[in-house]
Structure 1
């Protein structure tokens, strides 16, 4: 089974094993990073309660994960070794699931090709994923570029994820392992301490002694962390599943800005996500018609097999199912996955593991990031036990 990225609702609670007492996983949406962490905590013997404002099946701009294109396409570079490690761990984990169960409705092993006006160099995973090869002298017309354009790229085996199905899978996996769920919105604007004090008034399966703060964009006000910011992404969902995942990076020119176009099939859904935009600092929730038109035009050459509708003057067009907007949880300095002690009401110290700021890499970071978070939870338990000696 594979999962999609997204943000958790303000609190996903996780209760603990006997060595830790009570553990709470907090977030604002039950997204891929938090849900994956909950699953691993449960598998490690913790009792988990997921406290969230939004759960799989909800559709709101506050809930990032369902809107994700959701494929394995690393944004990490050789200068970010920890994120590279997370990406590879996620790839291997998802591939192992596919091998065990075959292509699941929520994920599929598919060809992936990426092209760029600039030759790809120093791709850190070139020796680590199947069928990787560099491609030079790609005919410009095959990707919708002018004849004089130099186009090169790479292809490899990737994993595409039906984000909605994957989120439901992760939640079902968590509940089958004994997770409790609590739909609740906490006062994120008053700080993490106030949110935990508020939650302490709720009857939970066990006392809170540790917290996984997987709050996504809410960490901006909740922690507060001024390094957190939105990265607006607009996509178009069209009818039909593309034969492969495709992306095209276009460098800036005198007449147009830098852009990335992509097509990501959603396995089992009969649809494909076309994109997209990466607009740092924008909070606009509504889809913009001009942007939709630009995305559709840019993607025509990438997946011509999906041009099944007939538009004006007999021109073949995409059949648009939906226009989507999501806000990726960006963070200056990259994801924050680390622990700290926090004093709450009554003078009690709670071990907080922060896990947020994955930007557009939530799905492909999720397994590696979650494993680190689980390790940090264990370190907090050891620290608590040592303090009692």
Structure 2
């Protein structure tokens, strides 16, 4: 590292922090001179850790577009497409090592909202447009066959090429790739965002991927409870129930079992799994999802080989992701004087779609740094 070039610090090692660190690293290595700036991830939790507040390892995770015509959903659709294309561009060996597998994805709707009906009418003008080559409507006979209870027969269904991730494996892969390319990590619990400027020499850029921010009053958790079972399934399925709730089965590649879910409980801080919720999740899965049972003599919820109950807190924010640049006056650790030299890029509060949107968000962070002249200036120091 050249001290003249300073350091770039990424705060947080969730999927947004890890992906952003990799993307910034790619940009710096492709444009900088022989002494590129040091890039450091500082975080309380890393992929080896298990904390209810560290959402990434608990994720399913699969890709399912979210249609809608709000500015936020239109932007998220672009980020999702970027992430899909990035993962799809990886060599098969990299996909395997990263715990990424492309497979069929199905969505079934008992009471489809208008935005999903619109997708069925014109997929090319929807958030599913980039999946058009594999997209198909599930016919009525197939829909009827998904459930013996006719009162719960889906009225609409899609099928397309999706992907699933083994999230603990994937997060570790991102960290290894970052460190292999010269990045550094430091496990540390920051008391404030300003502290990130003091932990390394000559830090001029801090990228805040802390999930919940630092005391942001708009940030809040979304509690999610799922169940990891050993039973296998060959595709990922999402079922919208008549009451508007969702059930899903998400296979984890590399024999990681299957995630059965799930709940979405905003502002709920309860850290403990509910036995009643587990029973509901497994009961729905037994009715709707073709999971394989190790014991052919069992049926219903008895057919599941449960590995663990999972409770995680998705880091959400009113108004959606905070993605913006802020300039801060930072006290120099050497001179003790205050200088307006600190650039902070905020990228936190994405909720439960971090894995699906990660590469698109990382690109946005790089774009913001370019507009600030931060990355382009470094290339000419």
TM-score by length of 1: 0.83
Instruction: Please give the per-residue CA displacement for 1:241-290, whole angstroms capped at 9, x wherever unaligned.
Output: 310000101132xxxxx310000000003401010000011011111111
Distance 1:62 1:264 in 2: 21
2:36 maps to 1:43? no
- Structure 2 residue 166 is the aligned partner of structure 1 residue 166: no
Q: CA deviation at 1:305?
A: 3.0
Counterparts in 2 of 1:183 and 1:287: CA distance versus 1, 3 Å: same
Change (3 A) 1:61 1:240: same
1:207-252 per-position Cα deviation (integer Å, ceiling 9, x unaligned)? 11011000102x1xx1x32221111110000003310000101132
Unaligned runs of 5+ in 1: 1-14, 253-257
2:205 aligns with one of 202, 207, 210 = 210
Deviation at 1:65, TM superposition (A): 0.2
SS at structure 2 position matched to 1:84: helix
Q: 2:62, 2:166 → 1: CA distance? A: 9
- Determine the structure 2 residue equivalent to 1:334: 320
Q: Report what 2:136 is aligned to.
A: 133
Q: Show CA shifts across 1:285-304 (max 9, x none).
A: 11111111110001113333
- RMSD (Å), alpha carbons: 2.7
With over 3 angstroms needed to count, the CA separation of the structure-2 counterparts of 1:383 and 1:151, relative to structure 1, is closer
1:60 is matched with 51
* 1:24 and 2:16 matched: no
Could you tell me which residue of structure 2 aligns to residue 179 of structure 1? 183
Corresponding residue for 1:33? 16
Mapping for residues 118-267 of structure 1, pairs under 5 Å? 118-119=111-112, 120-123=116-119, 124-129=126-131, 130-137=133-140, 138-140=142-144, 142-143=146-147, 145-147=149-151, 149-188=153-192, 192-193=193-194, 195-196=195-196, 200=198, 202=199, 204=200, 206-217=201-212, 219=213, 222=214, 224-252=215-243, 258-267=244-253
Q: 2:24·2:366 contact (CA, 8 Å) conserved in 1?
A: yes
C-alpha contact 1:233 1:327 (8 A) present in aligned 2: yes
Change (3 A) 1:293 1:113: same
Alignment correspondent of 1:347: 338
Task: Judge conservation of contact 2:66–2:127 (CA < 8 Å) in 1.
Answer: no
How many angstroms apart in 2 are the aligned matches of 1:76 and 1:347? 47
Q: 2-side partners of 1:110 and 1:236: how far apart?
A: 21
Counterpart CA distance in 1 for 2:168 and 2:54 is 11
Contact 2:79/2:360 (8 A) holds in 1: yes
